[in-house]
Structures are given as C-alpha cells and as structure tokens.
Amino acid sequence: MKDTLTPDTPVLHARGISKFFPGTIALDDVELRLMPGEVHALLGENGAGKSTLIKCLTGAYRRDAGTLLLDGREIDPVSTADSQRLGIGTVYQEVNLLPNLTVAENLFLGRQPTRAGFIMRRQMNAEARAVLAGYGLSLDPAEPLAAYSVAIQQVIAIARAVEMSGKVLILDEPTASLDHDEVQLLFDVVRQVKARGLAVVFITHFLDQVFAISDRATVLRNGRVVGECLLAEMTQRDVVTMMLGRHLEARTKARDTGAAGKTLVEIADLGKRGLIAPFSLNIREGEVVGLAGLLGSGRTETANLIFGAVQADQGRVMLRGQEIAIKTPRDAVAHRFALCPEDRKLDGIVGDLSVRDNIILALQARQGWMRPIPRAKVEEIAQTYVRALDIRLASLDMPIRLLSGGNQQKALLARWLATNPDLLILDEPTRGIDVGAHAEIVALIEQLRADGMALLVASSELEELVAYSTRVLVLRDRQQVRELVGDQITPDNIINAIAIEEVA
C-alpha cells in the first residue's frame, strides 16, 4: 500500500467546478482532489455547497464550468447511472436500496448472472455471500433486505457501490441514523474499502467521526473552497473556525440574571435510541435556555423530543413537580407547551390559509374543533398579535405564503403566543429572515422572558444565543457536552465546547 499522506496523482480531480442557480452561485471555482486509498472529508455548514458539489460529481446536476478528471482522463457523467459505470459509486444517508428485494437481488440488481435470459439465483446468492463475507458480514443473502438493520443495509449499499464502480466511493451522511456501535461497524468497512485503494469521500456533520476516519479534508463555505488540509495537522477547533469563517472575539454583555423564577419543567434522562443520547434539563420561569451546536448535533431533536413530536423511549418529564406523559404534540399543547419548528415552510405555516386562520390554528386545535372560537374573538386575537409583533401585512385575509419570511416567522410566533404557553420552544427562530426582523425577534424573546415565560431556543447563530440566553447547553454528536451559565456565555466558549477534543 502506498503512503496515504504523500499525494501522487488523484483518482478523481475536479477543477474549477462552478454551478449557478437563479440568483445564487452555489459553487464557485471549486477544486477537489481525491487520492487513492484515502478518506477525504467534505466539510461545511448547511448551504456551503457540499451536496451540490457531490451532485455535480455524480452527474445528478450538470456543472456550469470546470473539468472532471478520473484517472487523468476527462469524464462528463450525465446521470448517476453513468457515473456509476465510470467508477463513481454513491451511498446516501437514506439507504437507497429496495427493502422488498433480497440482499442478493439488491447487490446484483441490473447485473444479475443470467443464462439464456434467466437469472441463476443459486449462483447469485453464492456470489453475494462471498462478496459480503469480504466485508465481514455473514448473513443469508436470500433474506429480504428489510430483515436487516440500517447499519447492515448501509454496508450492503457500500458493497454494491464498490462492486459496481470500484474507483471512488462517496458516502453522503451515511452515519446520520446509526448509533455508536453501528458507526464502528461501518467504519471498519470503510477502512477495508480504503485499503483496497479506493478514494472515499465522507460527508458528515459529526466532527468526531471526521477525525476518526478521514485523512484529508476540504472545507467549503458559501460555495467556495476555504482550504484543503491534512487532518493529522489540525485540531477540531481549527476546523470549526474554518467552517464558520471567523475568529470570534470574546464579547460579553451585562446580563440580567436575577429574574428567573420557580422551576417549571424538569427533564430527567430523556432520550431516544439512535436519535439523541439521554439528557437532563431544568427550565425555570423567566429563563431562556439556549441550545447550541453544529447542524446535526441534536438541537432540533432535543426540541422535538420535549414537545412529543418524536416520542422518547426513556426518561421522564416533570411539570411543576408532577410527572407528565408527553407522547404526542397534542399532549404537549395540553400542558401549555408550544413549539415553533425549524422549517416553517414544511412544518409550520399552512401556506394557502389566511394569516388570521394561521394565527388561530393552535388555539383552536387546543379548544377542540367542536367549540369554534367566535369570529369576533378570532379577529381580536389576530389583531392584537399583529399589532404586538408588528406583523406587516395588507390584510388579515391574505394567504400567509405571500408574507415575507420574517413576517411569516412572527405570525407563527403569534400562533403559539395566542395559546399563552408556559414553555415556548423555538427552533431556529431567525433562520432566513432579514436583519431588521432578526433584531425584533431577539427583542421579543427578551420581552417574553422578562414577562416570566420559560423559553428553550435552539439556534446556530452564536451571537444571537449569547444575546438572549440565561443558560446555554452545548450539544455535539447528539449529546449534551457542556452547560454555560452567566459570564461563561461567549461565542468563544461555545465554539470551544463544540470543538472540544475527545479525552481518552
């Protein structure tokens, strides 16, 4: 085997790749060099251009500029099937195999051994068994794929990609739904693939996993390459700084910490296998608890778990000292919890309903559909919140999808404020809204806290978290790693906590 850290010629060399979408430059003159027998991590925050780059490599998108060299020869894949034939295999986060076919059928779909047009099942099963044995799996290839766990299915997907393509293996967040042991199983397979001389691209939000398996990394930000580096020479802190793109200087502010009241919610060992490690958390009235962490670190999962959008499989929740069961969002609403979800277009607004109907939705749902809120009352509530939150609109009757992002976000907030919640959970309240609306939402959070509401806010904006949180919980790899209180809350401290090297 060659020395993996002294580059010779790359297996795949992408040069000057650019991709434009209407109004945005998704990729700008990107270079990627994949060495044989090396795992190459592709890093960057959401929207940095990772998946666009991958799609340009696999032919799912047509690049607008640039060249792809595979083994020194120029290639121009027009479809994923085409790039597969050329030697570039891809394994996606969601296993893209067919659960209804057998393991062997999945491995050999499209290239089954045939004689006179008929598939030779026995030979196919025997070959499948041999191939999988090479990856350390001993299983019955005639069983349906669905009989095996996601981790095993991922390994089978890798085996298929390697057997079919055999030069470059792209792993697009393959570990997103695996737990710790399963990740180890997958990594063993990746190491074998690497030893066979393939170039592996590894995309993940888990920094520990990047450092555990990767040799080299390319960091993207806003569609540009920030840098290519050997990970052996880097710390997690360096990488996070590259990804976020700024050395955040310490900045503290005078903080009003006296107002916190009685404990409202006590959460003990709440967790769900494969989604988020058990965590404990107390939230008091008049307190804003911030959730910080990189994308995929478990912020949204934490919010969803508390709200019952995802059902926990362990732990308990106490409200004012009494244990409550939250199995569905309905239960949570009944206990006066409220959640503004991260993706307002997908999970929040009902685009074609009027602003008024959108605002009243949660309150009406809690009342039950049998007891409609009187028209005049609806009008009054909607008017009150439109004024209080300064939602700018032509009329309460206009469909909410016509509002700007910031105003939609405020209308969503109004929906939940109308239910007069005790605990308000906000997931990325300021994503995708302009600067002015941003400041208003931050001010509103402050105001609600001062009024004695308990808030839990997940955000990727560090300055914002620092501005309004009375406490910050830092998540990494779906675990709580740090709790910061009072003057400890600085952007620098949060970054340090996110990037902290694993001890032992």
Contact residues: other proteins, CB under 8 A: 80-81, 84, 92, 96-101, 105-106, 109-110, 112, 114, 117-119, 121, 136-137, 142-144, 146-152, 160, 179, 181-182, 184-185, 188
Residue (20 or 187) nearer to other proteins, CB: 187
The minimum distance between CB 311 and other proteins, in angstroms, equals 13
Residue (28 or 179) nearer to other proteins, CB: 179
Classify residue 111 as exposed, middle or buried by CB count within 10 Å of its CB (0-12, 13-18, 19+): exposed
The span from the CA of 59 to the CA of 49, in Å, is 15
Residue (132 or 289) nearer to other proteins, CB: 132
The span from the CA of 65 to the CA of 88, in Å, is 20
Residue (132 or 454) nearer to other proteins, CB: 132
Strand, helix or coil at 170?
strand
The minimum distance between CB 137 and other proteins, in angstroms, equals 7
Q: What number of helices (H) and strands (E) belong to the chain? A: 16, 22
Element (H, E) at 32: strand 24-34
The minimum distance between CB 43 and other proteins, in angstroms, equals 24
- Label residues 357-379 b or e (16+ Cβ within 10 Å = b): bbbbbbbbeeeeeeeeeeeeebe
Nearest to 232 by CA among 97, 38, 53: 38
The neighbour count for residue 106, using CB atoms within 10 Å, is 22
The span from the CA of 469 to the CA of 438, in Å, is 15
Residue (13 or 160) nearer to other proteins, CB: 160
The minimum distance between CB 106 and other proteins, in angstroms, equals 8
The minimum distance between CB 278 and other proteins, in angstroms, equals 16
The span from the CA of 123 to the CA of 369, in Å, is 61
The span from the CA of 15 to the CA of 225, in Å, is 11
Q: Could you give the strand order of the β-sheet that contains 216-221, starting from the edge strand earlier in sequence?
A: 88-91, 168-172, 199-203, 39-43, 216-221, 224-230
**Taking the CA atoms of the chain, what radius of gyration do you get in angstroms?**
25
Residue (119 or 450) nearer to other proteins, CB: 119
The minimum distance between CB 98 and other proteins, in angstroms, equals 4
The neighbour count for residue 442, using CB atoms within 10 Å, is 18
- Report in angstroms the alpha-carbon separations of 147 from 48, 53, 140: 37, 34, 10
The minimum distance between CB 125 and other proteins, in angstroms, equals 12
Residue (154 or 408) nearer to other proteins, CB: 154
The neighbour count for residue 284, using CB atoms within 10 Å, is 18
The minimum distance between CB 397 and other proteins, in angstroms, equals 34
The minimum distance between CB 275 and other proteins, in angstroms, equals 13
C-beta of residue 83 within 8 angstroms of C-beta of residue 58: yes
Residue (84 or 490) nearer to other proteins, CB: 84
The span from the CA of 105 to the CA of 119, in Å, is 10
Residue (33 or 160) nearer to other proteins, CB: 160
Residue (152 or 294) nearer to other proteins, CB: 152
Strand, helix or coil at 256?
coil
Residue (35 or 189) nearer to other proteins, CB: 189
C-beta of residue 30 within 8 angstroms of C-beta of residue 223: yes
The minimum distance between CB 48 and other proteins, in angstroms, equals 24
The minimum distance between CB 163 and other proteins, in angstroms, equals 12
Element (H, E) at 303: helix 299-307
The minimum distance between CB 145 and other proteins, in angstroms, equals 9
The minimum distance between CB 149 and other proteins, in angstroms, equals 4
Check residue 12 and report its DSSP letter.
Answer: E
The neighbour count for residue 193, using CB atoms within 10 Å, is 23
C-beta of residue 362 within 8 angstroms of C-beta of residue 419: yes
The span from the CA of 96 to the CA of 153, in Å, is 9
Residue (130 or 485) nearer to other proteins, CB: 130
Residue (69 or 185) nearer to other proteins, CB: 185
